[in-house]
Structure 1
Amino acid sequence: MRLTFIYLASLLLIGTVWGCRTNPEQTEAQNGSLSATTPTDTSTQNGSNVPAPEWTKNATIYEVNVRQFSAKGDLASVEIQLPRLKELGVDIVWLMPIYPIGLEKKKGALGSPYSVADYKAVNPAYGTFDDLKHLVQRAHDLGMRVLLDYVPNHTAWDHPWVKQHPDWYTLVNGKMTSPLDDKGKPTGWDDVVELNYDNPDLRAAMIDAMTFWVREADIDGYRMDASGLVPDNFWQDVRPALDKIKPVFMLSEWEADPAQFKACFNMNYGWAMHALLKDIAKGKAKATAIDSLLASRKKEYPRWAYQMQFTQNHDENTWNGTLTESFGAGAKAFVILTSTFNGMPLVYNGMESGLNKRLLFFEKDSINWGTYTDATFYKSLLTLKHRNRALWNGEAGGELIKIPTGHDDQVYAFLRQRDNDRVVVLVNLSNQLQTIRLSGDGYAGLYTDVFEHKPMELKTGMTMTLKPWEYHVMTN
């Protein structure tokens, strides 16, 4: 979702309600994170498995802000960097919206990519339809996949449908309206106008546009913006229409509706985990709260479903802060967690070069790539994800098993194992020295530290001291 609104993500964790950050520019609206009052939908536990392509089992995802990715800000410049991303360990390239942008009520000099003026065209500033097809083909040649960012809930005010099909839009007091949130309150997205999914002709036209890109450009799926503001029964129609062309992968930005997994989606955003990790970084929550959140997800989601785990994305970077602003000196410790938890890790463009600025949303603001100072760090994590089955996605991976440390309020330690593959992660999530004593069982053995490249033997009852924010990722 184009985060130009306040996040109201909250979750009941060990009797404490905690909230997401706010974006002061906008009015109140939910970002799709589970709230303390959201009822648990356990029906998804018994739902049938929404199909997922085989290539997703150990995949990682990389978000490209096309406008800011290069000085030219076009698709051809993204294609040039695909071999580098492949070498980094990226499997899925997610392109932020590539469609023409509305001019009416646009924000800033260039407008928002999420204000779509034509669902079946490429923004001329980004290149041509053939440029997109060439990019997708190049990605496929490299063994990579491409997701398009799609905006189903609203269009630009000057989208042709506004005049051609006014009955396809939501009316309030007889007038079209900017989007409302799932409580019927204004979102503040005044550069776009809300669609009405009660209209069957709109539904047909939207599915036609979605199938167009799969059929004509050979894309591999979608990241769906504000998907929770669109009815689940629409998503039930979307999935078979897309899979009829080719097996696709579907990412929902929403988190508050587990039933979406049953309807259409393979993965959703880990918004609540992201907010919790930021609170831990700032000393506002304890590391043990992670266990409560993971347990709730296990209860709410079908076994095969999983979340996208992240420390940055375009919303967070622009409106809430850079990696360092959000996580301080412990930034890499939290990247370690999001890269080894259950779920698929996201790398936002520029992180491998230590992105240290908030990229502007409505203006040109190119990434300074420098010398890719953190590329080795991310490559180590993504390569481990590929090779070690314990870290694979969904049911293909190993369950996260907590390792008690005696300092679990500050240190998070766990084992993941699948068949003979093991990964043990130890992370000090505090700015204090921590001397820990490992207990429990199942993890003892010889490992190699992924970052220090040296052997390490773990034994039950052993003690070790971790410096502030220190981490160890060990594999057998």
Structure 2
Amino acid sequence: MKKISILLFAALLLFACNTNDSADTITIAGEHTNWVYDATIYEVNVRQYTTEGTFSAFEQHIPRLQELGVGILWFMPLQTIGEVERKGSLGSYYSIQNYTEVNSEFGTLADFKSVVDKAHASGMKVILDWVANHTSRDAVWLENEDWYVTDSLGNIEAPYDWSDVAKLNYNNDDMRDAMLQSMMWWVREAGIDGFRCDVANEVPTDFWERATDALKALKPDIFMLAEAEEPELNTKAFDAYYAWDFHHKMNMVAKGEGNVDSLRTSLNKMNARFDDRAIPMYFTSNHDENSWNGTEFERMGNAVPTFAALTYVLPGMPLIYNGQEVGFNRRLEFFDKDNIDWPALGVKHKFTDLYEQLIALKKSNPALFTQEKGGDMVEIDNNMPDKVWSFKRVKGENEVHCVFNFTDESVVVAFDETIAGDGFKEFHNATSSVAMDSVELKAWEYKLYYKN
């Protein structure tokens, strides 16, 4: 076992001291770095992004993503992939053989650092997908058998039915230290700005709290996203979490299996469970949904633009999975090579235009900033609350009024108060809006009115 670095030791000592602080200690959830409040997260699947499937090929897309308005690039795991029990010809990104070795399929560490540098120069941050729950079944760590969970016969266990991975033992302090050192290595060596943590709820919360303290000692503006929906993770360790339940409710509503009450109830439960400053991440797709449950078009049909817009106006952070910005409508292979079909150079897809406008609206109107920096969501009562969701967000002189028809039929909705009016402009065309007490909406149509 390598000795813990001096920096890591200092960070762990600081954490130990903090555990004895009084109850009014400021939590991590109240210390979000400033660049998260208006940011869109963009998930990058390097293998499938280009024909080459390399860092260098992806780097050529950074100017396009800058123009789109992306704030944070989230890279799926980049490390070497195990060969024992490998799935498919290339294996799962989440079956990591060596935490501090770059998968040569994508290029070199120098290639990735070039991507990070160019992203930073383009005003974007970079976070790395981190798999702390398990390694591949031929990982370099397997020389330490007590770092793994074993059954009664001494066989190393695989979580769930994931036959290509081995579950780590968080009762082992040496393993915990090595995991933390590996995370810090990527911050030091590659200059990344945070982590998206895979199945974060499968790893003890106290490890994440310790890790976040150490990472913030190394880089104070680190950003932590949990692939989980467990409030205790966002008390001290994580800035943001997956709004999984809300995502599933969106899919249900799109299929006619739910209505606005389904969305409203999910949101209210989420708000009741989580601290006000914990940031929900909303999404219509991601790598799991795309590969295993279908594209957003399979799951949401004609409602895709409507739900995309919703993810931008709710208090939280929106996610784009690579290809969504060009209406890519195919399930990507997970264990084998595949390609996103990008439009020809100079051709602008209608979804590119939509996401550019949504991102620009969120960045330019503080009412839409996330959590305490933005405006509260206040419902505007209407005469068909199970079909139409109408609400507003206000921050100082900034306002956004939102009206969504979550049905496949045209409606005329009447409000208990006037909406829009003097100083407001309509989203999409930026034309001035008049005050209204009713609006006609086509199937799955939405209207946004904003004022700065």
TM-score w.r.t. structure 1 length? 0.86
Identity of aligned residues (%): 37
Rounded Cα–Cα distance in structure 2 between residues aligned with 1:442 and 1:379 = 25
**Do structure 1's residue 251 and structure 2's residue 225 form an aligned pair?**
yes
> Paired residue for 2:85?
105
The answer as to whether partners of 1:310 and 1:338 remain within 8 angstroms in 2 is yes
Structure whose residues are more often helix by fraction = 2
> Paired residue for 1:166?
145
Q: How far does residue 330 in structure 1 lie from its aligned partner after superposition?
A: 1.2
Q: How does 1:140-159 map to 2 (within 5 A)?
A: 140-159=120-139
Q: How far does residue 438 in structure 1 lie from its aligned partner after superposition?
A: 1.1
Which amino acid in structure 2 is aligned with residue 167 of structure 1? Answer: D
> Paired residue for 2:260?
287
The answer as to whether partners of 2:412 and 2:440 remain within 8 angstroms in 1 is yes
Rounded Cα–Cα distance in structure 2 between residues aligned with 1:250 and 1:442 = 37
Rounded Cα–Cα distance in structure 2 between residues aligned with 1:428 and 1:72 = 42
Which amino acid in structure 2 is aligned with residue 343 of structure 1? Answer: G
Q: How far does residue 243 in structure 1 lie from its aligned partner after superposition?
A: 0.6
Q: How far does residue 176 in structure 1 lie from its aligned partner after superposition?
A: 3.6
Rounded Cα–Cα distance in structure 2 between residues aligned with 1:455 and 1:431 = 28
1:98-131, CA deviations, whole angstroms, 9 ceiling, x for partnerless residues? 1111011010111000000110011001000111
Match of 2:319 among 346, 350, 356: 346
Q: How far does residue 412 in structure 1 lie from its aligned partner after superposition?
A: 1.2
Rounded Cα–Cα distance in structure 2 between residues aligned with 1:438 and 1:199 = 59
Rounded Cα–Cα distance in structure 1 between residues aligned with 2:398 and 2:206 = 40
The answer as to whether partners of 1:389 and 1:396 remain within 8 angstroms in 2 is yes
> Paired residue for 1:333?
306
- Greater Cα shift, 48-57 or 300-309: 48-57
SS of 1:333's equivalent?
helix
Rounded Cα–Cα distance in structure 2 between residues aligned with 1:176 and 1:114 = 21
Q: How far does residue 289 in structure 1 lie from its aligned partner after superposition?
A: 2.2
Unaligned runs of 5+ in 1: 1-43, 181-186
Rounded Cα–Cα distance in structure 1 between residues aligned with 2:248 and 2:144 = 40
Which amino acid in structure 2 is aligned with residue 475 of structure 1? Answer: Y
Rounded Cα–Cα distance in structure 2 between residues aligned with 1:283 and 1:144 = 38
Match of 1:396 among 370, 373, 389: 373
The answer as to whether partners of 1:49 and 1:304 remain within 8 angstroms in 2 is no
Which amino acid in structure 2 is aligned with residue 175 of structure 1? Answer: G
Which amino acid in structure 1 is aligned with residue 412 of structure 2? Answer: T
Which amino acid in structure 1 is aligned with residue 213 of structure 2? Answer: P
Which amino acid in structure 1 is aligned with residue 320 of structure 2? Answer: V
Q: How far does residue 453 in structure 1 lie from its aligned partner after superposition?
A: 2.7
Q: How does 1:32-431 map to 2 (within 5 A)?
A: 48-50=27-29, 51-162=31-142, 164-180=143-159, 187-246=160-219, 247-255=221-229, 257-370=230-343, 371-373=347-349, 374-431=351-408
- Greater Cα shift, 203-212 or 426-435: 426-435
> Paired residue for 2:5?
none
Pair 120,49 (structure 1): closer, same or farther in 2 beyond 3 Å = closer
> Paired residue for 2:14?
none
TM-score w.r.t. structure 2 length? 0.91
Pair 46,309 (structure 1): closer, same or farther in 2 beyond 3 Å = farther
CA RMSD of aligned residues (A): 1.6
Rounded Cα–Cα distance in structure 1 between residues aligned with 2:72 and 2:359 = 12
Rounded Cα–Cα distance in structure 2 between residues aligned with 1:440 and 1:198 = 58
Pair 285,81 (structure 1): closer, same or farther in 2 beyond 3 Å = same
Which amino acid in structure 1 is aligned with residue 146 of structure 2? Answer: D
Rounded Cα–Cα distance in structure 2 between residues aligned with 1:441 and 1:291 = 22
1:203-250, CA deviations, whole angstroms, 9 ceiling, x for partnerless residues? 000000000001111100000001100001111110111011112000
SS of 1:261's equivalent?
helix
Pair 49,234 (structure 1): closer, same or farther in 2 beyond 3 Å = closer
Rounded Cα–Cα distance in structure 2 between residues aligned with 1:389 and 1:101 = 42
Pair 66,321 (structure 1): closer, same or farther in 2 beyond 3 Å = same
SS of 1:455's equivalent?
coil
Rounded Cα–Cα distance in structure 2 between residues aligned with 1:238 and 1:103 = 29
Rounded Cα–Cα distance in structure 2 between residues aligned with 1:340 and 1:154 = 36
> Paired residue for 2:427?
450
Pair 456,176 (structure 1): closer, same or farther in 2 beyond 3 Å = farther
The answer as to whether partners of 2:421 and 2:433 remain within 8 angstroms in 1 is no
Rounded Cα–Cα distance in structure 1 between residues aligned with 2:162 and 2:34 = 37
Which amino acid in structure 1 is aligned with residue 327 of structure 2? Answer: G
The answer as to whether partners of 2:186 and 2:192 remain within 8 angstroms in 1 is yes
1:167-214, CA deviations, whole angstroms, 9 ceiling, x for partnerless residues? 00001113344443xxxxxx1111100000000000000000000001
Rounded Cα–Cα distance in structure 1 between residues aligned with 2:216 and 2:410 = 51
Alignment: residue pair count: 423
Q: How far does residue 474 in structure 1 lie from its aligned partner after superposition?
A: 1.4
1:277-308, CA deviations, whole angstroms, 9 ceiling, x for partnerless residues? 11111111111222222222222111211111
Which amino acid in structure 1 is aligned with residue 152 of structure 2? Answer: N
SS of 2:184's equivalent?
helix
